[in-house]
Amino acid sequence: MGEPAELRCPTCDRRFSPAAPHNLCVCGSPLLVDYDLAAVGRALRPSDLRDREPSMWRYWELLPVIRREHLVTLGEGWTPVLPLARLGERLGLPRLFMKDEGLNPTGTFKARGAAAGVSKAKELGIRAVAMPTAGNAGGAWAAYGARAGLEVVVAMPADTPEVNQREALAYGARVVLVDGLISDAGRLIAEAAARSGWFDVATLREPYRIEGKKTLGLEIAEQFAWDPPEVILYPAGGGVGLIGMWRAFDQLAALGWIGERRPRLVAVQAEGCAPLVQAFHAGAATAPFWEGAQTVASGLRVPKALGDFLVLRALRETDGYAIAVSDAALVQAMHELAALEGLWICPEGAATVAALPLLRDLGVVRPEDRVLVLNTGSGLKYPHLVHGEYEVRQVGSPW
């Protein structure tokens, strides 16, 4: 597999060996994984990918697991890019597409980060991991932990959708419900992990989840014939996938596989929890803690993201944007997309659909742009958001 050259702190530039487990840098910043891209370029060309497996591991030279026997996989990645012709016609965006991550194992894009993180944990000899979750990440890490034989402990807000709670339980995880937000669950896990010897795999507190999410960008580039779309909309809670795509496009440009142009990255949040949007429009380098965070899109209810400074840097370096939508708008977008395109997506993904007319009116997306919205999960996990009335008829009654 690919071999990371080193772990690097993007804040203070300290370097660490990937041969040992690491959480944050001593300065408190997340660590990023760097590769010897010159060596990758000598060993791999785009044409070499044609006959590889249709999963995220087709890019193994750019992934951190060194030996194949340590791979923990359920077939994640290589999800389809679907044209949204009818919605695009309605919005005046004829080149509109969606990448549907709801077709991953466990039903969300969290499978990518879990596959990479659990595989590397196994390779490093880690036997127990712990994390806070807004719901879907906990289920994914529980599934991959079960596959690897790791002990998994997850803490989630008590009002996390019941489907997410039961999913993690089904995979054998120890599930702790917390009376509070994901930030409160994070503090609980950090304290307990220090006492219990669990390895803390909270968002960006270990370096490898982002490497799995990075494969989103690698796939998008390949699926668009190495000419990525002009705009990508991403529903940002912790923002790891957005950071991952940003790094993927940088690495592909360094390899010479794509040109210097980058997709304009757009972060979409819910109005009830929009710290990144607030920071972006204020010109701030980091985001404030969002008090009283509330939204039906539980994956977007992240009041303070550890990697907020990286998300904001990615938006600005790609001439991107940040926008918030209401819960009413994103739920309406879920139903409209299902009826119009046959796609029942998660509320987080629907936030990107709800943002499209706003971004069009602002001129952030233009009719000539190829616009890709990223759906991060299946709507089947959110039955409580289905609206409408059933018809009831008696057997034998006239139609």
Residue 9 lies inside a defined structural domain of this protein: no
pLDDT at residue 194 in the model: 87
Low-confidence ranges of the chain (pLDDT < 70): 1-2
Q: Which of 129, 165, 153, 117 lies closest to 298, judged by CA?
A: 165
Q: pTM, whole model, 2 decimals?
A: 0.96
Report how far residue 278's alpha carbon sits from residue 286's, in angstroms, rounded to the nearest whole number: 10
The dihedrals phi and psi of 8, each to the nearest 5 degrees, come to -130, 140
CB 193 within 8 A of CB 200: yes
For the four alpha carbons of 130, 132, 138 and 140, in that order, the dihedral sign comes to negative
pLDDT at residue 390 in the model: 86
Residue 376: which CATH number? 3.40.50.1100
pLDDT at residue 399 in the model: 80
pLDDT at residue 2 in the model: 63
List Cβ neighbours of 227 (8 Å cut-off, separation of 6 or more): 258, 259
Report how far residue 98's alpha carbon sits from residue 100's, in angstroms, rounded to the nearest whole number: 6
Report how far residue 378's alpha carbon sits from residue 104's, in angstroms, rounded to the nearest whole number: 9
Residue 181 lies inside a defined structural domain of this protein: no
In the chain, % helix, strand, coil (3-state, to 5) comes to 45, 15, 40
Residue 397 lies inside a defined structural domain of this protein: no
Residue 362 lies inside a defined structural domain of this protein: yes
Instruction: Quote the domain boundaries for residue 230.
Output: 81-107+210-385
Residue 73 lies inside a defined structural domain of this protein: no
pLDDT at residue 1 in the model: 57
Angle of CA points 183, 187, 192, to nearest 5°: 145
Report how far residue 42's alpha carbon sits from residue 31's, in angstroms, rounded to the nearest whole number: 26
pLDDT digits (tens, 9 = 90+) for 37-90: 999 999 999 999 999 999 999 999 999 999 999 999 999 999 999 999 999 999
Kindly calculate the radius of gyration of the chain based on its CA atoms and give it in whole angstroms: 20
Residue 260 lies inside a defined structural domain of this protein: yes
| H-assigned helices in 149-233 | 162-170, 182-196, 209-223
pLDDT digits (tens, 9 = 90+) for 210-222: 999 999 999 999 9
Residue 247 lies inside a defined structural domain of this protein: yes
Strands 15-16 and 6-8 turn out to be antiparallel
How many domains are there within the chain? 1
Report how far residue 393's alpha carbon sits from residue 280's, in angstroms, rounded to the nearest whole number: 53
Residue 286 lies inside a defined structural domain of this protein: yes
